[in-house]
């Protein structure tokens, strides 16, 4: 049997895992090739768009950088120049933004010399409330009541300096009689104002140019106040010769013991016509026998919305 036995040729064995692996690897390579080709195509299209934008843009630096006809050295110079200008622009924008966030405020101050300025109101009071020669037994007690009302620690109204008339209306049954009494026994303007000169003109003013007003100091007098009878005065030139000059007679012999303070002299304040004088808090005192010079500076403030 061994001799007659013929050996048959074997069929080649096939490894299916190897074939599968080979087939799969070939398919992946094809897909990767397609992906890279599509990506390269999209990059080329994007670069083409960017190059077209660079050539057509109005920014001259970028157009020179991407110009193929421009020499490389010049294109390199344009690159540095464009980057430098872009950096400066960013710095300026950041600086302006920081300045805007800080809420800047602009103050404009102008010095203007107008052709004329309205002269302010001058309020003059004597420290003596009542003249000693006018006090008698018939009015002594009434004057004491009025004096207590003048010097009340807490005035009935907020502007007690210029609301004395209103206080009399609220706390006195005979307001007109009390005002008449004050005008008679108080300081008289014809006696208090001995000399008056305005703008260095002769006979330019007198005691008649002063208006009577009632305050905590009794009878006080206003010069250039708001009144229909008095025309507003304007000063055209600077200097004491072109302002108001006054001489007073304080009548020191007429002072009484009824005054709440022992001061002798006058008290005055310069203010706007529509502003309360507030003699007690802001008045300037001048003793007898002295000269006083007051320099005025007019300031006007306007709020710009």
CATH code, domain with 219: 2.60.470.10
Same domain, yes or no: 255 and 200: yes
Within-domain flag for 41: yes
User: How would you list the strands of the sheet with 210-215, edge to edge?
Assistant: 210-215, 218-223, 121-126, 266-271, 284-286
At residue 115, what are phi and psi to the nearest 5 degrees? Answer: -65, -30
Domain of residue 38 covers 21-101
What pLDDT shows up at residue 160? 40
Task: Please give the average per-residue pLDDT across 240-267, as a whole number.
Answer: 89
What percentage of the chain carries pLDDT values higher than 70? 68
H or E segment to which residue 171 belongs:
helix 164-171
Which position has the higher pLDDT, 243 or 44? 243
Contacts of 243 (CB under 8 A, 6+ apart): 119, 198, 199, 235, 296
> How many domains are contained in the chain?
2
Query: Residue 55: is its pLDDT beyond 60?
Result: yes
CB 225 within 8 A of CB 245: no
Do 199 and 129 reside in the same domain of the chain?
A: yes
Q: Is residue 261 part of a domain?
A: yes
* 190 and 229 part of one domain: yes
- What does the angle CA 186 – CA 187 – CA 188 come to, to the nearest 5 degrees? 115
Together in a domain, 221 and 85 = no
pTM for the whole thing?
0.58
What is residue 158's predicted lDDT score, i.e. its pLDDT? 40
Sign, CA dihedral 215-221-225-231, equals positive
- Name the pairing type of β-strands 117-118 and 218-223: unpaired
Q: 57 and 128: one domain?
A: no
Residues 121 and 270 in one domain: yes
Q: Are residues 62 and 129 in the same domain?
A: no
Task: Tell me whether residue 249 is in a domain.
Answer: yes
Helix residue ranges per DSSP H, the chain:
16-56, 60-65, 72-101, 140-150, 164-171, 175-185, 189-192, 279-282
* 51: confidence class by pLDDT, cuts 50, 70, 90: low
**29 shares its domain with 80:** yes
Provide the pLDDT for residue 72.
Answer: 80
Quote the pLDDT of residue 93.
94
| Per-residue model confidence as pLDDT tens digits over 25-36 | 444 555 555 555
pLDDT classification of 125: cutoffs 50, 70, 90: very high
Mean pLDDT of 262-285: 88
* pLDDT tens for each residue of 183-230: 888 899 999 999 999 988 888 889 988 988 888 888 899 998 876 566
**Could you tell me the two tokens for 250?**
């304080």
Does 53 lie in the same domain as 122?
A: no
**Do residues 79 and 195 both lie within one domain?**
no
Which tens digit of pLDDT belongs to each residue from 67-100? Answer: 777 788 887 888 888 888 889 999 999 999 999 8
Instruction: Please state, rounded to an integer, the average pLDDT across all residues of the chain.
Output: 76
* Beta-carbon count within 10 A of 17 CB: 8
Q: pLDDT-derived band of residue 264, with 50, 70 and 90 as boundaries?
A: very high
**pLDDT at residue 94, as a whole number:** 94
């Amino acid at each position: 049997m061994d001799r007659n036995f013929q050996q048959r040729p074997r069929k080649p064995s096939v490894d299916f895992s190897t074939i599968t692996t080979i087939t799969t690897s070939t398919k992946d390579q094809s897909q990767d090739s397609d992906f890279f080709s599509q990506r390269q195509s999209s990059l080329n299209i994007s670069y083409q768009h960017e190059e077209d934008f660079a050539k057509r843009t109005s920014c001259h630096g970028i157009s020179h950088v991407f110009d193929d006809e421009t020499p490389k050295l010049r294109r390199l110079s344009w690159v540095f120049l464009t980057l430098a200008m872009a950096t400066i622009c960013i710095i300026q924008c950041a600086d302006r933004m920081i300045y805007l966030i800080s809420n800047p405020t602009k103050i404009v101050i102008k010095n203007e010399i107008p052709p004329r300025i309205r002269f302010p109101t001058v309020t003059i009071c004597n420290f003596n409330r009542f003249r000693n020669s006018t006090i008698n037994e018939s009015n002594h007690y009434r004057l004491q009541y009025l004096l207590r009302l003048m010097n009340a620690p807490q005035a009935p109204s907020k502007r007690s300096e210029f609301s004395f008339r209103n206080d009399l209306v609220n706390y006195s049954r005979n307001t007109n009689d009390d005002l008449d009494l004050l005008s008679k026994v108080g300081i008289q303007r014809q006696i208090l104002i001995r000399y008056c000169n305005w703008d260095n003109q002769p006979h330019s003013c007198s005691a008649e140019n002063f208006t009577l007003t009632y305050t905590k100091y009794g009878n006080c007098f206003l010069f250039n106040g708001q009144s229909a009878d008095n025309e507003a005065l304007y000063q055209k030139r600077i200097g004491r010769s072109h302002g108001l000059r006054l001489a007073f007679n304080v009548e020191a012999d007429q002072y009484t013991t009824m005054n709440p303070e022992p001061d002798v002299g006058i008290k005055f304040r310069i203010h706007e016509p529509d502003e309360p004088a507030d003699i007690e808090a802001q008045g300037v005192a001048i003793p007898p026998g002295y000269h006083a010079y007051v320099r005025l500076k007019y300031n006007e403030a306007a709020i710009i919305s």
